[in-house]
Amino acid sequence: MEAILAIAIGVVASTGVWLMLRGRTFQVVIGLALLSYAVNLFIFATGRLSVDREPVLLGPLGATLQHYDDPLPQALVLTAIVIGFAMTALLLVVTMALRGLAGNDHVDGIHAPPGPRDDVPPAPPRHLPGDGT
């Protein structure tokens, strides 16, 4: 179980990092979202993996806590999910604003990096099919 989870977290995180380093805003957004998924899984795993254990202490306690799971990482991950979700939503809004202002979806607001930035003429607004404009 540990190996599967570790591999899964690793794959998601590395995909996220790779996408984050790409030049187009949508890829960056998806990359950051994937990275935050990996982080959330990782936080979840720091409470140690277990099956069939209650996270919340209910009723009379046993002699030890070995039949219970650590509830704290679950609370932490919930906070992290909410914050990450809100931030991704905000980033999407900024991405769309940048798309509208720059006329393309490169993170630097330019199409391709052919040379010194000052030499690149401002890109004309591009109208995609179904843009509604």
Partner 1 sequence: MSGPLQGLVSPDHLVVAPILLPMLAAAAMLLMRADRFRLQAVVAVFSTGLGLLLSVLLLLQVNAGGPDGTPAVYLAGNWKAPFGISLVADRLSAFMLVLAHGVALGALVFSTARWQRVGVHFHPLFQLQVMGLAGAFLTGDLFNLFVFFEILLAASYGLLLHGSGGARVQAGMHYIALNLAASSLFLIGSALVYGSTGTLNMADLAQRIPNLLPGDAALARTGAALLAVTFLTKAAAWPLNFWLVRTYSAATPPSAALFAVMTKVGLYTLLRLGTLCFPGADGNLALVAMGLATIAFGVIGLLASQRLAYLAGYALMVSSGTVLSAIGLEKPGLTGAALYYLASSTLGASAFLMLTDIVERWRNGGAVTAGFQQSREAPFLGRDLKPLQDLGLDEEQEQPTGKTVPTATALVGLAFAMCALVLAGLPPLSGFTAKVALLTSLLNPQGMGGGVTDVSINAGVLAHPNTPGVTGWIFAVLLVGTGFACLLGFSRAGIRNFWAAQGRGVPRLRVVECLPIGVLLAGCLALTVWGGPVLAYFEDTARALQKPRVYIQAVMQTRAVPSAAGAPGGAP
* Interface with partner 1 (CB under 8 A): 20, 25, 28, 32, 35-36, 39, 42-43, 45-48, 72-73, 76, 79-80, 83-84, 86-88, 90-91, 94-95, 97-98, 101-102, 107-109, 117-118
Q: How far is the CB of 40 from partner 1 (least distance, A)?
A: 8
Specify the residue, 101 or 129, whose C-beta has the smaller distance to partner 1.
101
**Cα separation, 43 vs 75, whole angstroms:** 10
Among 120, 126, 118, smallest CA distance to 101 is for 126
Task: Quote the least distance from Cβ 132 to partner 1, whole Å.
Answer: 20
Q: Please, which residue, 116 or 132, has the CB nearer to partner 1?
A: 116
Measuring CA to CA, how many Å separate 119 from each of 60, 98, 107, 108?
74, 21, 18, 14
Q: How far is the CB of 56 from partner 1 (least distance, A)?
A: 14
Q: Which is nearer to partner 1, 25 or 69 (CB)?
A: 25
Contact 126, 103 (CB under 8 A): yes
- What is the spatial distance between Cα 8 and Cα 10, in angstroms, rounded to a whole number? 5
